[in-house]
Chain A
Amino acid sequence: MASSMATMRERLSQAPWGLWWIQGYRLTRIELRRNLFSWRAAWIYFLAFVPTFILLIHLVVDRHSGNSISEDTSILAGIVQLYYIRLGVFFGCLGIFSRLIRGEMIERSIHFYLLSPVRRELQLLAKFAAGSIAAILLFASAILANFVLVYVGFGAAGSDYIFNGPGLGQMESYLAIIVLACLGYGAVFLLLSMMFRNPTPAAMLVLGWEAINPILPSLLQKLSVASYLRHLMPVQVGAEGIFALLTVKTEPVPAWQATLGLMALIAVVLFYSCLRIRKLEIRYTTD
């Protein structure tokens, strides 16, 4: 057996990229199985599906008329922008991504990963991939369910709005926004969970930053996940009072530019996280 191990090591050392791919894939699967789909994450399912539940009640109780499609379209846009981006995905990703490293430190099991033959940068990226898959599956399902529940009550008019009108395009935009939000907040919270023993206060600062971001100079606006996502919204939300803070209009930016900007921000945050994890030390007594 020892000789077969030596042969395998020799073979894999000649193809490091192949080995890294296998390791990353397997680590992602292990991570998904171990950490992300469990009853402990029940509160995140709750966050994701609260609007779905409310929309379901609305569907059962209220009568829909064809005239209110545009009104319900605005409500759906409000749910995505005011609830999912600002609260649901934000706190959901905080729960999912801060668990990946800080949670393992609290449970004193992260050393098993750090003692594995997987480069630490790869471990971080695999954890990020696992967290992203879990968050996207959860919130994209919720958005899809919400979309269906909003328009199904309108019968033929709703079907016409989706398939012959702007509905399908809006749904695609919402899904893209949710994917980018999960990746963006995920990268931020993964980093915060490495930097702070309790990342929640830092996450509250991020929440505050996101809220005041629209009134900041344009350079600072680039350091915000929500500011990029705002430019991708297919339906603009008009809000008053305190909600206006969450929906302040900024200079329009093309969708491709906003997407690239956010991807660049994610890449920078992940790069810095990779640097940090290389220096990560295990001292459970102080962690």
Chain B
Amino acid sequence: MSDQIIFEDVSKFYGEVLGVNRITLSIPPGITTLVGPNGSGKTTLMNLMTGLIQPSRGRLSVLGLTPADATEFFSAVGYCAQFDSFPRNITGWQFVYDSLMLYGMEKAMAADFTVEALDRVQLGEAAGRRIAGYSKGMRQKIRLAQSIAHHPRVLVLDEPLNGLDPMARAESMALFEDLGRQGMHVIISSHILDEVDRISDRVILITGGYLIAEGDIHQVRQEVHEKPMQVLIRCDRPEVLASRMFSVNHCVEARLHADGKGVFLRTSELDQFYSMLNGIAAEGLIKIDSVAPADDDANAIYQYLIGTEGSAS
């Protein structure tokens, strides 16, 4: 059985409106972030992945399975959709428990799995209350609990951090990271790029229904040639370092850090840049504390490739 989520030339049209066009993708296990502006096709991609809609053309499979075989497919896949609605008059416990009972498991086993899922999202105490009385954050959590309760191998999360307070957001991020480390596929779409960026292994950029880039975040960043890489160097004499680098390296931009103890340098020749930096450090004239890429995160890639600053959603 394949361990990949595979899109082969998949297009989806809603009448004459384009959802996504000619998407060819292969997503390995790990955490993958879907990034794109409103209406770019992220939810369409997720709905295609989980069989809520069918492709107008092309084929897709998840771990070699298709939604046509619902029993196998939905045993392997969990989807936390962004639709903020639930069956009426139902408690959090019933919501998770009922969905588990449809897997054919015994009542005791379903109850154990329900407790486990509710504990993982830290919603145990509110489980007996009706979902209609939950806050937005709690509703988000109960959806998440339902989507992970059956131990899926693929977890698709559409804006899973919406409505969560900072503490709950951090807990959810830790949970996603943990699931990703266990070898699961975790596909996340989120507009809170700074947070998902910390745990993502891969990024998929999509806009207007077209796939713009995909792959390891650092690789994707390096392929954006028209925007030279930016590096933050923490040191005791940033202005001296900037002038030295400008004199010999292909530096195209320098900007002092706000605290005056570092400099952002942009270079089109990263290898030469690091080699030069090593030389300067070896001279001992400038004390370098740290060197780190400053714009090879999902947020920067989003801005460079899609162009709307900080408004991914």
Residues of A within 8 A of B (CB): 1-2, 4-5, 8-9, 12-13, 16, 19, 22-23, 26-27, 30, 34-35, 38, 104, 107-109, 111-112, 114-120, 278-279, 281-284, 286
Residues of B within 8 A of A (CB): 14, 47, 50-54, 68, 70-75, 77, 79, 81, 83, 85-90, 98-99, 101-105, 109, 112-113, 116, 146, 150-151
Which among B52, B68, B151 is the interface contact of A115 at CB below 8 angstroms?
B52
- The residue in chain B whose Cβ has the minimal distance to the Cβ of A3 is B151
Instruction: Decide: B47 and A117 in contact? CB cutoff 8 A.
Output: no
Q: Would A9 and B88 be within 8 Å (CB), given that A283-B14, A283-B53 are in contact?
A: no
Q: How far is the CA of A72 from the CA of B53 in the complex (A)?
A: 56
Minimum C-beta distance from B180 to chain A (A): 16
Q: How far is the CA of A109 from the CA of B81 in the complex (A)?
A: 11
Q: Chain A interface mostly helix, strand, loop or mixed?
A: helix
**A-B CB proximity, top 9 nearest:** A108-B85, A117-B74, A282-B52, A281-B53, A116-B102, A19-B104, A22-B104, A117-B71, A2-B151
Instruction: Decide: B102 and A117 in contact? CB cutoff 8 A.
Output: yes
Q: Would A13 and B71 be within 8 Å (CB), given that A8-B104, A115-B79 are in contact?
A: yes
Q: How far is the CA of A117 from the CA of B75 in the complex (A)?
A: 6
Instruction: Decide: B71 and A1 in contact? CB cutoff 8 A.
Output: no
Which among A27, A30, A108, A286 is the interface contact of B14 at CB below 8 angstroms?
A286
Q: How far is the CA of A108 from the CA of B102 in the complex (A)?
A: 20
Minimum C-beta distance from A266 to chain B (A): 24
Known contacts A23-B104, A27-B102, A120-B70; can you find 6 more A-B pairs with CB under 8 A?
A: A2-B151, A4-B109, A5-B113, A5-B150, A26-B102, A34-B88
- The residue in chain A whose Cβ has the minimal distance to the Cβ of B73 is A117
Minimum C-beta distance from B17 to chain A (A): 10
Which among B53, B87, B101, B102 is the interface contact of A109 at CB below 8 angstroms?
B87
Q: Would A108 and B83 be within 8 Å (CB), given that A5-B151, A13-B71, A115-B52 are in contact?
A: yes
Which among A107, A115, A279 is the interface contact of B54 at CB below 8 angstroms?
A279
Q: Please, which residues of chain B bring their CB within 8 A of the CB of A26?
A: 101-102
Which among B52, B71, B90, B98 is the interface contact of A114 at CB below 8 angstroms?
B52
Q: Please, which residues of chain B bring their CB within 8 A of the CB of A5?
A: 105, 113, 150-151
Q: Please, which residues of chain A bring their CB within 8 A of the CB of B116?
A: 1
Q: Please, which residues of chain B bring their CB within 8 A of the CB of A115?
A: 50-52, 74, 77, 79, 81
Q: Please, which residues of chain B bring their CB within 8 A of the CB of A120?
A: 70
Instruction: Decide: B103 and A282 in contact? CB cutoff 8 A.
Output: no
Instruction: Decide: A34 and B70 in contact? CB cutoff 8 A.
Output: no
Q: How far is the CA of A197 from the CA of B52 in the complex (A)?
A: 18
Q: How far is the CA of A4 from the CA of B106 in the complex (A)?
A: 11
Instruction: Decide: B102 and A118 in contact? CB cutoff 8 A.
Output: yes
Instruction: Decide: B151 and A282 in contact? CB cutoff 8 A.
Output: no
Q: How far is the CA of A248 from the CA of B74 in the complex (A)?
A: 52
Q: How far is the CA of A154 from the CA of B99 in the complex (A)?
A: 53
Q: Please, which residues of chain A bring their CB within 8 A of the CB of B54?
A: 279, 281
